[in-house]
Amino acid sequence: MPNLKKGIYVVLTGAPGCGKGTQARLLKERLGIPHLSTGEMLRAEGHTGSELGLKIKALIDKGNLVPDEMIIDMLKNRIEKDDCQNGFILDGFPRTLPQAEALDELLKEKNITLDAVIEIQVPDEIIMERILGRYACMKCGQGYHDKYQKPKVYGVCDTCGGTEFYRRIDDNRTTVQNRLVNYRALTYPTIPYFEKEGLLKCVDGTGSIEAVANKIDSVLGV
């Protein structure tokens, strides 16, 4: 396995709806390194309609995690790609302790050390409102919110002019409740794990998108 060059290696973590995806997309623009969203990778597999894709989709739609082994393999293959040579932003991985341990092993093999694990903190009542109101442009994926981030022109995407939008099937109240239960039981234990490694940085995720982005820049020192 070739050694990757030193760059910025960061994990964005936090409960569903805390803004990981939004902040990762912005950070990608600022740092010029790829945004690796395991949720997006899994949804792409789901859209292929393959047998595996259908199994993944059933788990996601109910708010359950896919098996560790599967996601670790997927991530491993992704970080081998050329565009990961100068760093990456992980969004949605690791989501369990075995995933966190596997990430450590994977990076150790490559002589890479993580620069930071940033936990974006948002209270549950805000999370529900954020998730239930969010939607995205079908064409370019730009995210919007019914209340907090409407397109400038009603029904038209600010970024690409697209006029069709979608909501994620797992963005409904029952599934979000299950995702929060899974977050607390399975993902939250990775927080003290990274704290022990001296990597954890906590950022208040309740401000504006720009304010949170500024806080992330300052903890990364960029």
**Residues with catalytic function:** 20, 95, 134, 168, 179
Residue nearest to ligand AMP (CB): 39
- What is the DSSP annotation of 54-111? HHHHHHHHHTPPPPHHHHHHHHHHHHTSGGGTTEEEEES---SHHHHHHHHHHHHHTT
Q: Is 89 in the site for ligand AMP (CB under 6 A)?
A: no
Pairing of strands 116-121, 200-204: parallel
Which of 14, 39, 46, 162 is close enough to bind ligand AMP by CB under 6 A? 39
Site string for ligand AMP, 145-184 (x = CB under 6 A): -------------------------x--------x-----
At residue 50, the 3 state secondary structure works out as coil
With CB under 6 A as the contact rule, which of the stretches 37-45, 80-88, 191-199, 204-212 interacts with ligand AMP?
37-45
Nearer to ligand AMP, 134 or 215 (CB): 134
- Shortest Cβ distance from residue 160 to ligand AMP (Å)? 21
Which of 10, 11, 13, 16 is close enough to bind ligand AMP by CB under 6 A? 16
Site string for ligand AMP, 101-120 (x = CB under 6 A): --------------------
First-to-last C-alpha distance (Å) of the chain: 29
Pairing of strands 143-145, 134-137: antiparallel
Q: Is 12 in the site for ligand AMP (CB under 6 A)?
A: no
| Residue for token pair 């995933």 | 99
User: Contact, 188 vs 195, CB < 8 A?
Assistant: no
Q: Is 92 in the site for ligand AMP (CB under 6 A)?
A: yes
User: Contact, 126 vs 206, CB < 8 A?
Assistant: yes
Q: Among 3, 26, 1, 81, which Cα is nearest to 215's?
A: 26
- Shortest Cβ distance from residue 142 to ligand AMP (Å)? 16
Q: Which residues bind ligand AMP (CB under 6 A)?
A: 16, 37-39, 42, 59-60, 63-66, 71, 92-93, 95, 99, 170, 179
